[in-house]
A and B are shown apart, each in its own frame.
Chain A
Amino acid sequence: MDKLLLLGDEAIAQGAVDAGISGVFAYPGTPSTEITEYIQASKEAKERHIASQWSSNEKTAMETAIGMSYAGKRALVCMKHVGLNVAADAFINSAITGAHGGLVVVSADDPSMHSSQNEQDSRFYGKFAQIPVLEPSNQQEAYDMTRYAFDLSEKFGTPVLFRITTRLSHSRSGVKRGEMHPQNELSLPSDLKQFILLPSIARKQYDVLLGKQAAFQEESEKSGYNKLIPGKDKSMGIVACGIAYNYLMENYQGEEIPYPVLKIGQYPVSRRLVREFYDQVDSVLMLEEGYPVLEELFRGILDEGKPVKGRMDGTIPRSGELNPNIVGKALGKEIAEGYPVPSVLRGRPPLLCDGCPHWDSFGALNEAMKDYGPGRVLSDIGCYTLSALEPLNSINSCVDMGASITMAVGAAEAGLVPAVAVIGDSTFTHSGMTGLLDAVNRNVPVTVVLLDNSTTGMTGGQDSAGLGKLESIIKGIGVDEKHIRIIKPLRRLHDENVKVFKEELAYEGVSVIIPRRECVQTLARRMKLKHAKKKETKESVNN
């Protein structure tokens, strides 16, 4: 079979389809989005009736996947690292219930924060849940490991965490496919109480999980994804996790690596391999992307063993993604220098698209807010977060998905007048709805600006869960109908829109203003498709 040219994300997706999944459950988030998009576009996935519609948020995605696993079928659940925080309750408990059909959770970490608000390391979550974690070093491994992850999950009746980082998510290379695994038949767990985490059962299940730990370690050694590569120079040994292994190899093009290397792709790491490695070297260099997870373990709390170099002593920068140069410097290699970057260079931050409805929404909001002074607009996470930058300078917060309304409630209770929340339609159904209920129950004066561009714009235009349902949701939550205002964000309606904002800002209760106009990106895509279809029909008529 020919090799497919796939992004790391796509390799995971193809691996999951070939592993016989019956569903993928996800909320879009960079750098994980392409996994689900690939399955949605896959012909094979369609033929196999693989469920692939976006979930409202990561927690509902995780729980749906647990349900599919309960019913005996293989399920994939995907999110970005901060999404795992949202899903954490269900995720941690899934380790206690265990899995029936294979259950694999992909969390895509974003070191260097290319498009995230932090750079947390999902491997900690794997350790926290006490389940196996897999971390591929390249696209082929991403494919192979995904298949292995499902087998591992079913072999031990445990969910498996699959950790990937930005660079591998969004880098393409050739991938060789294996045979397709048939989908599982519907079946129920043999222990029908396993998924009931009442304390008495949970205690039993927790013991079962603890009892599996030794087997997880043993498996780590046998799988081949962890291996000890011998080296002659024992003055140093190198531990390379996931993609760090590539950067290590890049520094020894065509040469043998002189030092022993412990290549890590699976956690918990085998103690036997670590012992064998540690005993033969005088010092250790740790290469891992994200937090110093293994480095801390190698050092121990007193750090009195052999010298360990890594992120904690500054050999590797404490934050940010790795690259061949950082690794080369840590190895003491001479680094080639390019030309100095000319000082005439300027930064070019991202900005809202030309014609984006948010320009007009914020234009009107800014004007209405003029009477009150700055610092009163609590925002959320989406394209509209870019309104924090020049030239709009409209918003004052971006903490986590759904935090805008709740923060505005807190600020209002502190006495901030007016307290404005800005949230997108997709973020609202992700985790803003419950905050709106708090606002209604507390009856605090907040003005919620629900920017409805009818899509999940920031990640490239995925379906938004609340499409066509927003007013009924808001009404159902209890917002007074008179204070649900729908406006069309257009320059020619500017004055009218400013008036609506001003009226609701003056209202001493909960009001929701919905500026509604489709995202220019999805609109352009839709028009293009429509045009192509029209052309097709015309041609077939002419023929």
Chain B
Amino acid sequence: MKKDIILGGVGGQGILTIATVIGMAALSEGLQLKQSEVHGMSQRGGDVQSNLRISSDPIASDLIPEGKADMILAVEPLESLRYFNMLNRETGWLITSINPFKNIPDYPPLEEVLAEITKLPRYITIDADRIAQTQGSVKAANIVVLGAASPFIGLKYESLENAVRQLFGKKGEEIVNLNLQALKAGRDFAEENR
């Protein structure tokens, strides 16, 4: 088992939370893990990216080679384009939220961004903000996207659920349930639209 995932988004959108949940789930299944993160200046509204590698065998590099990523998981559609060169042409999935984060003056028209994504053979585009809202908070949009990616990560769904419980446990039952529902809603969407 080996999954190489590029996580993309804008600083503050919670991609490191996604990485943590997948990481915890992978460890609970006895897998190895390497995860590179972005720290410092670039987090301030700039593009952020994390390389997440999980495998049953030892992992050599902290960085995923170009054209070898099994998945681009993005919490913002424009940011998903930034890593097209990383995606494996034979097997790669792109999962992204369609909700733009517009903090630049020249953000291109959303249709043009989505048109590029829908040219790919394997993708899921999800209105994560709306779905998260219906579950109780737009803050859980990142977990909705994670849910949408969950059928393709190669981990047991229960492992992801347990990781969500573990990670959000300190914040109380209410937050845990909200995120579990967000995860489920994202997954259901992906199962129906894959």
Report which A residues bind B (CB closer than 8 A).
5, 7, 30-31, 33-34, 114-115, 167-174, 243, 246-247, 249-250, 253-254, 323-325, 328, 335-342, 344-353, 383, 386, 390, 458-460
Contact = CB atoms under 8 A, between A and B. Distances in A.
B23 A338 contact: no
Nearest to B171: A532
B39 A31 contact: yes
A351 B45 contact: yes
B69 interface: yes
Top 10 A-B pairs, shortest CB-CB distance: A336-B67, A30-B40, A350-B46, A249-B60, A250-B61, A171-B36, A171-B62, A324-B65, A338-B67, A342-B116
Given A30-B40, A31-B40, A323 B65 contact: yes
Contacts of B103: 348, 351
B112 to A, nearest CB: 5
B43 A172 contact: no
A33 B44 contact: no
Contacts of B51: 171
B88 interface: yes
A348 B10 CA distance: 9
Contact of A323 (B23, B63, B82, B87): B63
A5 B46 contact: no
Contact of A168 (B47, B62, B107): B62
A34 B60 CA distance: 23
30 contacts: A7-B37, A170-B36, A170-B37, A171-B34, A174-B32, A253-B60, A323-B63, A324-B64, A336-B66, A336-B89, A337-B85, A338-B69, A338-B86, A339-B84, A339-B120, A340-B84, A341-B81, A341-B84, A342-B81, A344-B81, A344-B113, A345-B82, A346-B106, A346-B107, A347-B104, A350-B11, A351-B103, A353-B45, A386-B44, A458-B40
Given A115-B42, A170-B39, A336-B88, A345 B78 contact: yes
A33 B82 CA distance: 28
B32 to A, nearest CB: 7
B116 A390 contact: no
A247 B61 contact: yes
B73 interface: no
Contacts, number: 161
A338 B85 contact: yes
A352 B44 contact: yes
* Interface residues of B, dominant DSSP: loop
A173 B61 CA distance: 11
Given A247-B63, A323-B65, A350 B43 contact: yes
B33 interface: yes
A173 B86 CA distance: 21
B112 A114 contact: no
Given A31-B39, A338-B86, A325 B66 contact: yes
Given A250-B65, A351-B44, 19 more contacts: A171-B36, A171-B37, A174-B27, A174-B33, A249-B61, A325-B65, A335-B67, A336-B88, A341-B82, A341-B84, A342-B81, A344-B81, A344-B112, A345-B82, A346-B108, A351-B103, A383-B41, A383-B44, A460-B40
B38 interface: yes
Given A342-B84, A348-B47, A172 B35 contact: yes
B33 A173 contact: yes
Contacts of B45: 348, 350-353
B68 interface: yes
B44 A353 contact: yes
Contacts of A250: 60-61, 65
Nearest to B107: A346
Q: Which of A5, A325, A338 has the most CB of B within 10 A?
A: A338
A324 B88 CA distance: 15
A345 B107 CA distance: 8
A246 B62 contact: yes
B105 to A, nearest CB: 7
A342 B111 CA distance: 13
A51 to B, nearest CB: 24
Contacts of B59: 173
A33 B39 contact: yes
Contacts of A115: 40-42
Contacts of B106: 346
A348 B46 contact: yes
A28 to B, nearest CB: 10
Contact of A338 (B36, B60, B89): B89
Contacts of B82: 341, 345
B62 A167 contact: yes
A247 B43 CA distance: 26
A16 B51 CA distance: 27
B78 A459 contact: no
B41 A173 contact: no
Nearest to B92: A338
Contacts of A353: 44-45
A386 B61 CA distance: 32
Contacts of A352: 44-45
Contacts of A171: 34-37, 51, 62
Contacts of A169: 39
B66 A345 contact: no
Contacts of B61: 246-247, 249-250, 323-324
A34 B23 contact: no
B62 A338 contact: no
B89 A170 contact: no
A168 B34 CA distance: 10
B83 to A, nearest CB: 8
A180 B47 CA distance: 40
Contacts of B104: 346-349
Given A250-B60, A338-B67, A351-B45, A5 B23 contact: yes
